[in-house]
Amino acid sequence: MDKKELHEIIQRGIICSIAFITLIYIMAYVVFKDTADVNIYQITTYKNVYNYVPDSEKLDINKATKEDFMKFDGIGEVIAERIIEYREENGGFNFIEDLQDVKGVSKNLYNRIKDYIIVIEEDP
């Protein structure tokens, strides 16, 4: 085997590799192209890994029920009840950051759920 034959073999290998990678890319595109349009709640509950939720689909913490809060990882019955109690005693939340004032809502827990909650101001 001379250098020319070796060069052709290497060239064919590179071309086959590129073709294979392209095929995988096309297959992945075909399989996943429509998932970007899927509503986040059609996939899972509030316990999801997506970074973006439209405001219209976020949980309003001034209206949420105990069961709504318990859909979040890290919020059990006790913390959910504390959130509702805090909300009732303080006339509601003004900002989502106020949730951190509730006993049991750590900074870590807040950071995990902050992208999925909102405070919607009511008209006077």
Percent of the chain topping pLDDT 90: 48
Q: Which stretches within 33-89 are classed as H helix?
A: 40-43, 66-69, 77-89
Res. 46: pLDDT tops 90? no
| pTM for this entry | 0.58
Best CATH choice for the domain 40-118 from the list 1.10.10.10, 1.10.150.320, 3.30.70.420, 3.40.980.10? 1.10.150.320
The average pLDDT across 9-25 equals: 84
Would you kindly state where each structural domain of the chain is located, as residue ranges? 3-37, 40-118
Model pLDDT for residues 77-103, shown as the tens digit of each residue: 999 999 999 999 999 999 999 999 999
Task: Report how far apart, in Å, the C-alpha atoms of 77 and of each of 42, 85, 119 are.
Answer: 24, 12, 21
